[in-house]
Amino acid sequence: MPKLHPSDKALVPFVSVENMMKLVHHIGIEPMLQGLADYIEADFRRWELFDKTPRVASHSDEGVIELMPTSDGEVYGFKYVNGHPRNTRAGLQTVTAFGLLANVGNGYPVLLSEMTLLTALRTAATSAMAARHLAPRGADTMAMIGAGAQSEFQSLAMKAVCGLKSVRLHDIDPAATAKAERNLAGSGLTVVPCESAETAMEGAQIITTCTADKQYATILSDNMVGSGVHINAIGGDCPGKTELAPGVLQRAEIFVEYPEQTRVEGEIQQLAPDHPVTQMWQVLAGTAPGRTGAGQITLFDSVGFAIEDFSALRFVRDRVGGTGLVQELDMLADPDDPRDLFGMLARAAPAAG
Ligand code: NAD
Give the span between the Cα atoms of 243 and 234, in whole angstroms. 9
Give yes or no for residue 64 CB within 6 A of ligand 1: no
Please check the confidence at residue 270 and state whether its pLDDT lies above 60: yes
- Residues facing 12 on adjacent strands: 329
Q: How far from the centroid of its chain's Cα atoms is residue 209's Cα?
A: 14
Give yes or no for residue 212 CB within 6 A of ligand 1: yes
Same domain as 78, residue 106: yes
CA of 213 to the centre of ligand 1 (A): 7
Mean pLDDT to the nearest integer, 113-142 = 98
Contact 197, 145 (CB under 8 A): yes
Mean pLDDT to the nearest integer, 47-72 = 96
Same domain as 194, residue 140: yes
Q: Degrees (nearest 5) of the Cα angle 106, 109, 114?
A: 165
Same domain as 90, residue 166: no
Same domain as 85, residue 219: no
pLDDT in tens, 230-269: 999 999 999 999 999 999 999 999 999 999 999 999 999 9
Handedness of CA 323, 325, 328, 329 (dihedral sign): negative
Same domain as 331, residue 320: yes
CA of 53 to the centre of ligand 1 (A): 25
Mean pLDDT to the nearest integer, 96-118 = 97
Nearest to 125 by CA among 235, 234, 212, 207: 234
What's 105's domain CATH number?
Answer: 3.30.1780.10
Please check the confidence at residue 4 and state whether its pLDDT lies above 60: no
Same domain as 196, residue 60: no
The verdict on residue 290 lying in a domain is: yes
Give yes or no for residue 95 CB within 6 A of ligand 1: yes
Q: Which residue range(s) make up the domain with 34?
A: 11-117+307-341
The verdict on residue 333 lying in a domain is: yes
Same domain as 199, residue 102: no
The verdict on residue 4 lying in a domain is: no
- The mean pLDDT value of the chain amounts to 95
Handedness of CA 129, 130, 136, 142 (dihedral sign): negative
Strands of 150-224 (E only): list them: 166-170, 190-193, 206-209, 216-220
Residue 111, phi then psi, degrees to nearest 5 = -160, 135
Percent of the chain surpassing pLDDT 70: 97
CA of 186 to the centre of ligand 1 (A): 24
Same domain as 135, residue 98: no
Question: Known catalytic residue: 237?
Answer: yes
Give the span between the Cα atoms of 229 and 185, in whole angstroms. 26
Same domain as 217, residue 281: yes
**Total domains, the chain:** 2
Same domain as 299, residue 179: yes
Please check the confidence at residue 6 and state whether its pLDDT lies above 60: no
The verdict on residue 351 lying in a domain is: no
Among 1-15, 23-37, 97-111, the minimum mean pLDDT is found in 1-15
According to DSSP, the β-strands at 109-114 and 97-103 are antiparallel
Same domain as 153, residue 108: no
